[in-house]
Structure 1
């Protein structure tokens, strides 16, 4: 029986398309170089830009990070020109945070404040240079600065458009379309690359490839309406993915991921459904890592406690969890015909992305990118086509059983 969905209001994405940059109607502004330097007094981060851009810089605590937002830019520096961690900066990530907004996240070893943020105009053959100087402060001083009315942040004279914290609105549903709606969620994206394979491949790209292939194959059957949470390399907060599924009136949510393990020998697919008590230590660790994706992308999660509590209360709707388990069992059977499975293939963990109270949801780990042989297999079109076909068989079987149950 189809579950009646709780419709959640969505905020319309403001300025998502992004304005054309001066002097170029088509090309994105470019990051031409990036570097990190240090002195006894400060650590300096410098971006060289093809043009003068508006920006927003701020810090976040626990873990401590410096976040830089820019209009959507092309960051295509070769590996040998990527900046290396130095001084207070322990790591760096970059990518599309929301349509029209690129984000750089600097992980820092200790609390810092923004000592200076400024732009050096072109001179001596150098392009525009955006400079961020940070210095170490005590936790007490950090939180004292944050508690001020405006907090600690730096914006340009031409501030960015308001950040779109919501996802783009979905296309309207045709009233006469009675087909089941399947929501496909390619994991990670944008500033959050996910796992990194032995060849240097990124999980976010692999899951998007599988998601697009699954969408095309499902639509080709004519039996399903298909919605993707993302169709390009963009970051989505975990609960935005849930909201998308609910707004779409999804009847099945499939989150696609790939795994890594410290042992390069481990390989095999696995399927997860929700449990607040993980089925084993590995499942718990994996869920913690996935749930940390919002932190990695520079998202402030301090206001989420109430939302999480409400979602967990709604999980009393046991029907949703039971339907998730039924589909997981179908998927294990069908994927097992095409690919190697982990032992105890159907697992349970507290993934935030599975916590919709009304949409049956599973998380599919298609294999291990840390296993050289399996990573090569996962990247092949032939294997992807087999996995997609097995998912479709499981979806067909699941909805056929739902129809039979509704007639009985």
Structure 2
């Protein structure tokens, strides 16, 4: 009966969940060339602020608004941002400015406002030298009633418009009976994640490099089929990551991260499982930051898909959590004496990316980019390969036990 709860739940729910996956590209369709944003400036005060971005070709754009906190969202076609960081230092009405890819040929600018704000004027015009185009946005402080009206009148679901659709359709396992593992490289696209204290390396690149090594290592083991939730620098929402794993009938979900802490002397790997109550303040704070990923990208908080049969869900979730804990213990056992671990290396908190009720899941913090020794290791290909091998050993040990117990 152990495997039947999860199998029945998956059969009842996965096919019925609406998930935005771009179709395969049309044969012969020309791929659009990404825009280049090569210059920017911002000026203003707490009443009015002007933002100017220069592009190599004319940008198509749309503007939307998100509440809690108030944000102005500027959606663009796929854009390479060749901007100096200081050119868009937040000022005036905006307390934070982020930009980057959103996947599927789309990019986004997220302007986090200090209060209710409206873009009162937006236009694109040629630059004086005729070699590019300038997007000009004028924003003003407004009252809450006006902002609420903007929110209620806009026709927008929170997704970015796609101009290129090259994400492949969800595929079944290549081998019947394979033990399928989803390896999730944390962050991506507009969501850079943590920043290295010495090298300023972005977490999204660290996690993807390790995830690729891990998938390669796992796929060398007979009977295992591992895949990446993202294989490039693109944004995926937290629910999307979970649903990709479920639609591929994953037996395991491993989300990879490398965070930062204010305490720069703390270092070592940590394995997290999901729980309604955090094991400690460090776990609670980390989960809170990781759960902000969608907000950082300007996504409204998605409600979780409606599930069927509450009793079935509860039974499945309990069983899945037990398997997740067993996986975490196997990982810690494999790492001990081989790589550095934080004190109490198995911790738990309410991570949204670990919420699949029918897929045992762990979040692996490889180390801390805020610690210079950890940062050096995280950027070392040989260290990554060593850790990938140890993790593969832990997964194989877990798989043998799970199969023996009907997992």
Q: Is 2:58 aligned against 1:52?
A: yes
Distance 2:97 2:207 in 1: 22
1:203-218 matched pairs, under 5 angstroms: 203-218=203-218
The residue that corresponds to 1:156 in the other structure is none
Q: Which runs of 5+ in 1 are unaligned?
A: 154-158
The residue that corresponds to 2:125 in the other structure is 120
Q: 1:99 aligns with which of 87, 104, 111?
A: 104
Q: Could you tell me whether the CA contact under 8 Å between 1:312 and 1:355 is conserved in 2?
A: no
What's the offset of the Cα at 1:259?
Answer: 1.8
The residue that corresponds to 1:238 in the other structure is 238
Q: Could you tell me whether the CA contact under 8 Å between 2:123 and 2:137 is conserved in 1?
A: yes
What's the offset of the Cα at 1:221?
Answer: 2.4
- TM-score under structure 1 normalisation? 0.88
The residue that corresponds to 1:64 in the other structure is 70
The one-character-per-residue Cα deviations of 1:169-219 (angstroms, maximum 9, x if unpaired) are 322334x52110011001011111111110211111100000000111111
Distance 1:312 1:72 in 2: 44
Q: Could you tell me whether the CA contact under 8 Å between 1:114 and 1:133 is conserved in 2?
A: yes
The residue that corresponds to 1:195 in the other structure is 194
1:377-392 matched pairs, under 5 angstroms: 377-392=377-392
The residue that corresponds to 2:43 in the other structure is 37
Q: Could you tell me whether the CA contact under 8 Å between 2:104 and 2:163 is conserved in 1?
A: no
Q: Could you tell me whether the CA contact under 8 Å between 1:96 and 1:234 is conserved in 2?
A: yes
Over 6 Å off, 4+ runs: 18-21, 308-313
Distance 2:28 2:131 in 1: 24
How many pairs does the alignment contain? 395
What's the offset of the Cα at 1:18?
Answer: 10
Cα RMSD after superposing both structures = 3.0
The one-character-per-residue Cα deviations of 1:151-170 (angstroms, maximum 9, x if unpaired) are 699xxxxx955898x97532
What's the offset of the Cα at 1:77?
Answer: 2.5
Q: Could you tell me whether the CA contact under 8 Å between 1:187 and 1:208 is conserved in 2?
A: yes
The residue that corresponds to 1:288 in the other structure is 288
What's the offset of the Cα at 1:40?
Answer: 7.3
The residue that corresponds to 2:180 in the other structure is 181
Distance 1:79 1:96 in 2: 16
Q: Which runs of 5+ in 2 are unaligned?
A: none
Q: Could you tell me whether the CA contact under 8 Å between 1:53 and 1:71 is conserved in 2?
A: yes
The one-character-per-residue Cα deviations of 1:9-65 (angstroms, maximum 9, x if unpaired) are 4546347759999xx967422111111111675211111011112111111111111
Provide the secondary structure at the position in 2 that maps to 1:262.
coil
Provide the secondary structure at the position in 2 that maps to 1:115.
strand
- TM-score under structure 2 normalisation? 0.89
Provide the secondary structure at the position in 1 that maps to 2:388.
helix
Q: Could you tell me whether the CA contact under 8 Å between 2:195 and 2:369 is conserved in 1?
A: yes
